[in-house]
Chains A and B, each alone.
Chain A
Amino acid sequence: MAAYIDLIGIRKSYGASPVAAVDGVDLSIQKGEFVTLLGSSGCGKTTTLRCIAGFEMPDTGTIRFSGEDITYSQPSERDMRMVFQDFALFPNMTISENVAFGLRLKKMRGRYSEAQIRARVEEYLSLVQLADHGKKMPHQLSGGQKQRTALARALITDPAVVLFDEPLASLDANLRKAMQVEIKRLHRQFNKTFIYVTHDQEEAMAMSDRIVVMNKGRIVQSGSPEEVYSQPNSKFVANFIDRANILTGIVETVDGSTAKIRLASGATLSAPTNDATISGKTVGVMIRVDRVSLGEDGSDQRNILRGIVAERLFLGAKNEYVIELADGAGRISVHERTAGAQASIGDVVPLCVLPDDIRVLAA
């Protein structure tokens, strides 16, 4: 069954560049979904978004929107509005005029009376908490207020899909958090499809129903925030999403759905796997910093590693310990609550990890 928005084999390169900005992207988005395209700059996420918006046309590939081919249609012909990183407010218009822009265009003529437009602008301004700012000019607003104006301007024409191109990248950290909450609230309230582009993995995790991790013009992994966090399918994703410890080991045996992996330090770890062919191969072993703890609790369900505390960093609610494993097997960072287990630099400490918290990755 076709999804709400379908990207099929999208490829796009700019000018004479031999490297494609988007290099074969297939993506299906469901109605009402909050999907985030996540990746570092140059990964093709913005180009993909601009193809969906209609500001770019792909070299090859098809974009379908509610069953219709929109690959080459104009931006205005798509029931979508884009919110830009630089806010893109019209500097010669007041905030109210900016928000009303779409309603006052020729193509909307006769749809709303001037009184209705004014009422609707009021409504949308108070929706984004700018009720008293309508008469101001854009330069008189703060960054957050400007972006809220842009949001109101996008939503007021009631599009089916709202596209966000790094909308919070130019705001400072605190404001960014507040705006994340606001955008999520608007998503719940309007139940529209939101497609969001960011390079900030924390932002992606906090807001999205689904994260699409991109690298070098391709989709690397697509899944819920929990999935990409705890079950990354590659070292790239493991490293890109939050903090991960990645060790290298050799798979000794695969027994059913459990692999025994020997590290360079000699320690063996049990980890879940569904791939029996990895037996005898070198693999990557990912352990999240919050899924490993100091000390051993005696239960034999757990994997035990030993190492020396090389560094201890106080992070407020928690301490970060950097543990040097024996025989150059690598370093492991551990986040331990400040109130929990303690250790000092130079201590030899045991570490324990549940098998289910270990993820086996291709080397």
Chain B
Amino acid sequence: MEDAATPVMTTASVAVAESTGISPGALKAKKIERARMLFWLLPPAAWFFVFMILPYCMLFYYSLGSVDYVVFKPGLSLANFVRVFTTEPYLSVMLKSAKIGIYTAILSSIIAYPLAFYLAFHASEAIKRYVYLLVIVPWWASYLVKAYAWKTILGTGGLINASLLGLGVIDHPLTLFLYNEFSVTLTLAYIFTPFAVLSIYAQLERVPTSLIEVALDQGATRMEIFRKIVLPISIPGIIAGGVITFSLGFGDFVAPALVGGADSIMISNIVINLLGAAYDWPMAAAIGLIIIALGLGLITLAHRLEHQFQVRF
């Protein structure tokens, strides 16, 4: 077969073609395709290597070493990892960070769901654009400024206390709003809720109107439609939004520094201290790696859950 093509083929490619049953033309096409793919893949691969793989390797290298006074000493010891789990306050702070992360995820989802629901089912195109803008615009302002704003709202001389004092509800400013887990969670949820809105909205948008109509037609109440149809279909969006807001909340260091109290220190603050003040890079690296491992585990779990709950139309 294909006698005309044979003379221009190398003997090697003839052998490959014969053994695999792929025609020489297809082989050539594959070669060109591979070359093109490499061309497009090279820049992102290089980026990924230099800014992801390499730093992780360095992180790992550091985590196995130790510090003698302020000088880094290379080594091959897992002592830093053991210390994370055995020496206070690393583990407890990490757990507390996780708790704040979970609070943030829950609060963000609760705030985000009605908005996403409204956008998906009731908003006109014009309103959708407008709300979308309202969700995006706060990101033009620095995160620091927004976190700081909560200080002036929640503080003893802040908006809430001033209002309550003015109304005569209280006679001393209340301190329960600021410098605790509540203020940290509130600030984090305020900042990261857009991520939850977008992931829940993306999922709700997939629900065709006819599903709602057929349920109404059958006599389902609004509550039944929500419970039996809308909520189950939106679960993957809630999970996705939850993972993002949890991760951002868990790793945050600005909110606890600005609006957190003395006891609301979080794991990122500890890492920063280890890197800066304490000069204990190996310990910081070990914590970093544990957080990355936790993150990978969480994402894998979430991915599996999303897959399990994802509906197909």
Please give the residue numbers on chain A whose beta carbons come within 8 Å of chain B beta carbons, in ascending order.
53-55, 74-76, 80-82, 84, 86, 88, 90-93, 101-102, 105-108, 137-139, 150, 153, 157
Residue of B nearest to A150 (CB): B214
Q: How distant is B307 from chain A, measured CB to nearest CB, in Å? A: 14
Q: Is the CB of A139 within 8 A of B217?
A: no
**B interface: dominant SS:** helix
Q: Is the CB of A82 within 8 A of B233?
A: no
Do A75 and B312 form a contact, CB below 8 Å, given A86-B210, A106-B221?
A: no
- Which of A82, A90, A107 contacts B213, CB < 8 Å? A82
A92 near B233: Cβ-Cβ < 8 Å = yes
Which residue in B218, B312, B313 is a CB contact (below 8 Å) of A76? B218
List of A residues within 8 angstroms of B131 by Cβ:
none
Given A84-B210, A86-B208, do A91 and B313 touch, yes or no (CB 8 Å)? yes
Partner of B216, one of A76, A84, A153: A76
| Contact yes or no, B217 A138, CB < 8 A | no
Q: Determine the distance from Cα of A91 to Cα of B206 in the docked complex, in whole angstroms.
A: 11
In the complex, whether B9 has a CB less than 8 A from a CB of chain A is no
Which residue of B has the minimal Cβ distance to A140? B312
Q: Is A75 within 8 A of B213, CB to CB?
A: yes
Q: Which residues of A contact B312 (CB under 8 A)?
A: 91, 137-139
Q: Is the CB of A55 within 8 A of B213?
A: yes
- 20 A-B pairs within 8 Å (CB atoms) are namely A54-B217, A75-B216, A75-B217, A76-B220, A81-B218, A82-B217, A84-B210, A84-B213, A86-B210, A88-B213, A90-B211, A91-B233, A92-B232, A92-B233, A93-B228, A101-B220, A101-B228, A105-B218, A108-B219, A138-B313
Add 17 more A-B contacts to A88-B211, A93-B228, A107-B221 (CB < 8 A).
Answer: A76-B216, A81-B217, A82-B213, A82-B214, A84-B210, A84-B214, A86-B208, A88-B210, A90-B215, A92-B232, A92-B233, A101-B218, A105-B219, A106-B221, A107-B219, A138-B313, A153-B218
- With both beta carbons as reference points, the residue of chain B lying nearest to A15 in the complex is identified as B124
Question: How far apart sit A157 and B211, CA to CA, in the bound complex (Å)?
Answer: 17
Q: Is B159 an interface residue (CB 8 A)?
A: no
Bound complex: CA of A302 vs CA of B228, how far in Å?
Answer: 67
In the complex, which residues of chain B have a beta carbon less than 8 angstroms from the beta carbon of A91?
Answer: 233, 311-313
Partner of B220, one of A88, A105, A150: A105
| Inter-subunit contact B218/A102 (CB<8 Å) | yes
B229 beta carbon closer than 8 Å to chain A: yes
Contacts of B233 in A (CB 8 A): 91-92
> What separation, in Å, do the CA atoms of A75 and B217 have in the docked complex?
5
B window 242-263: CB within 8 A of A: none
Is the CB of B224 closer than 8 A to any CB of chain A?
A: yes
Kindly provide the distance from the CB of B210 to the nearest chain A CB, expressed in whole angstroms. 4
Q: Is the CB of A92 within 8 A of B210?
A: no
Instruction: For B218, give the chain A residue with the smallest CB separation.
Output: A102
Alpha-carbon distance between A230 and B312 when the two chains are bound, in angstroms: 47
| Contact among B208, B210, B224, B311 with A105 in the assembled complex (CB-CB below 8 Å) | B224
Beta-carbon contact of B218 and A157 below 8 Å:
yes
Determine whether the beta carbon of B229 is less than 8 Å from that of A90. Answer: yes
B residues 188-233 in Cβ contact with A at 8 Å: 208, 210-211, 213-221, 224, 228-229, 232-233
A246 to chain B, nearest CB (A): 39
**Nearest-Cβ distance from residue A17 to partner chain B, whole angstroms:** 15
B216 surroundings in chain A (CB, below 8 A): 55, 74-76
- Indicate if the CB atoms of B311 and A92 lie closer than 8 Å: yes
Residues of chain B within 8 A (CB-CB) of A88 are 208, 210-211, 213-214
Among A74, A82, A108: residue with most chain B CB under 10 A? A82
Name the residue of chain A whose CB is nearest to the CB of B217. Answer: A75
Quote the shortest CB–CB distance from B75 to chain A (angstroms).
53
A55 cross-chain contacts in B, Cβ below 8 A: 213, 216-217
Residues of the A chain whose Cβ atoms lie less than 8 Å from the Cβ of B224: 105-106
Q: Taking each of B216, B219, B311, which has the highest tally of chain A beta carbons within 10 Å of its own beta carbon?
A: B219
Choose among A92, A101, A139 the residue that contacts B215 (Cβ–Cβ < 8 A): A101
Query: Which partner residue on chain A sits nearest B232 by CB separation?
Result: A92
- A286: shortest Cβ distance to chain B, in Å? 39
Q: How far is the CA of A157 from the CA of B220 in the complex (A)?
A: 13
Within 8 A of A (CB), among B34-57: none
Most chain A beta-carbon neighbours within 10 Å: one of B214, B217, B228: B217
CB distance from B122 to the nearest CB of A (A): 16
Q: How far is the CB of A136 from chain B (nearest CB, A)?
A: 12
CB closest chain-B residue, reference A82: B217
CB closest residue in chain A, given B233: A92
* Shortest CB distance B279–A (Å): 54
Closest residue to A139 on the B side, CB-wise? B312
Set of chain A residues within 8 Å of B217, measured between Cβ atoms:
53-55, 75-76, 80-82
Nearest neighbor of A85 in chain B, beta-carbon distance: B210
Known contacts A86-B208, A88-B213, A88-B214; is-contact A76 B311 (Cβ 8 Å): no
Give the chain A neighbours of B220 by CB distance below 8 A.
76, 101, 105
Q: How far is the CB of A44 from chain B (nearest CB, A)?
A: 19
CB-nearest residue of chain B to A137: B312
Residues of A within 8 Å of B215, CB to CB, are 90, 101
Name the CB-closest residue of A to B212. Answer: A88
Cα–Cα, bound, A76→B212 (Å): 12
